[in-house]
Amino acid sequence: MSEWTMKRFWSDTTVEEGAAGFEIKLDGRAVKTPAKRLLAVPTELVATKIAAEWEAQEEVVDPTSMPWTRSANAALDKVAVQRTEVAGHLAEYAASDLLCYRADGPEALITRQKNAWDPLLTWASEVFGARLKVTSGVMPVAQESADLERLAARMRGMSAFQLTGFYDLVTLTGSFVLALASAEKRNDPETLWSLSRIDEEWQIEQWGEDEEASETANIKKSAFFHATEFFHAA
């Protein structure tokens, strides 16, 4: 992964369409992934976003300021070569979806979860034919395999780049259904992120805000917004 520690050596950053897709070039030299694959992306929009990140680098390349580049690298070096494993991992989230696990008290939190999450589960049932069961407390609930398969089927039509964005949407929220709602543009990103934070916001209301936890949440929120944009741009 030597490219991540290199100093800026180029003057011009350009996007060119090639046989494998849109390439990002630095003084005419194609950018490679950490695994030395050609960084070729499926849409000009994604390529333009990546090129802007490279153009913004100053003396030393800072990967933390390059989410589009990192997502594209993950799509090519990880998801494309381990697609079955990635999809299987994400399907496990549907089996224990955040929206299916409810508090057993107090009543105000129970009502808040119900009002926020039931409409999404109804939507998943109507659109995908997946009728997920709900439980409360710490007791797990076993979902029907047919319902889980209907949800997982949506991933089959995703490209490696889309699946990369979808992976972050699922893992950042703990909910396959919320990720689907983002993929299908059922709700805007701000609303969906808020829906994933019902429990945390309740705790903040009761006990006050923790500065470190708040900072972590903001980082995750930014990553969620990026994942949404990356999914739809790809």
Burial of 113 (0-12, 13-18, 19+ CB in 10 A): buried
Residue of 74, 64, 66 whose CA lies nearest to 34 = 74
pLDDT tens, position by position, 44-77: 999 999 999 999 999 999 999 999 999 999 999 9
Residue 79: CB atoms within 10 Å:
23
Pairing of strands 29-30, 21-26: antiparallel
pLDDT tens, position by position, 167-225: 999 999 999 999 999 999 999 999 999 999 999 999 999 999 999 999 999 999 999 99
The pLDDT score that the predictor gives to residue 1 is 34
Alpha carbon separation from 181 to 74, 112, 118, 124, 227 (Å, rounded): 23, 19, 13, 8, 13
CA 183/CA 162 separation, integer angstroms: 9
Pairing of strands 101-102, 135-136: parallel
CA 46/CA 42 separation, integer angstroms: 7
Q: Give pTM, 2 decimals.
A: 0.95
Q: Where do the domains of the chain lie, and which CATH numbers do they carry? A: 2-77 (3.30.2180.10), 83-233 (1.10.3580.10)
Amino acid residing at 173: T
The pLDDT score that the predictor gives to residue 139 is 86
* Secondary structure (3-state) at 64: helix
